[in-house]
Amino acid sequence: MSRFGEVIDRLAAVIESRRGGDVTRSWSARLIADPTLAAKKLAEEALETALAGVAGDKPAIAAESADLIYHWLAVLAGARVSLDDVAAALEAREGRSGIEEKASRRRYAPRSRRRRAT
């Protein structure tokens, strides 16, 4: 396994160990308990990572990517989606062009924005 994979596995385990913890003492516990907060933080970190990328600031890209991945793992933990679930989704896309794969996916919209059949 790569160094990155080992770090991700350790971090995911730490985040999962905070499930049910005191939300006043653990940021991970708070994110797992509040999926809306976790999603907002994930979006914020994604934007900061993108802006660092546009600026070409390598140290900022690395730092913001670390924040992004932490919050992504917290969102996964809160939704009880495992890294193996994500790996399966990635494996299902292997061998397909990105354009073809993207065209085949249905859009995932927040429930409040999904249109209902009338």
CATH number at residue 103: 1.10.287.1080
Q: What is the pLDDT of residue 66?
A: 98
Sign of CA dihedral 28, 34, 40, 42: positive
Range of the domain at 41: 3-113
What residue has token string 């209902």?
A: 116
> What span, in angstroms and rounded, lies between the C-alpha atoms of 67 and 47?
11
Is 88 within a domain?
yes
Is 91 within a domain?
yes
Is 15 within a domain?
yes
Is 79 within a domain?
yes
Task: Tell me which DSSP letter residue 86 carries.
Answer: H
User: Helix 83-93 to helix 3-17 angle, to the nearest 10 degrees?
Assistant: 140
Is 51 within a domain?
yes
Please determine, for residue 101, whether its predicted confidence score (pLDDT) is greater than 70.
no
Q: What is the pTM of this model?
A: 0.81
Please determine, for residue 113, whether its predicted confidence score (pLDDT) is greater than 60.
no
Write the pLDDT tens digit of every residue in 34-69: 999 999 999 999 999 999 999 999 999 999 999 999
Q: How many helices (H) and strands (E) does the chain have?
A: 6, 0
Neighbours of 76 (CB within 10 A): 20
pLDDT band at 108 (very low <50, low <70, confident <90, very high): low
Is 118 within a domain?
no
User: How many structural domains does the chain have?
Assistant: 1
Is 90 within a domain?
yes
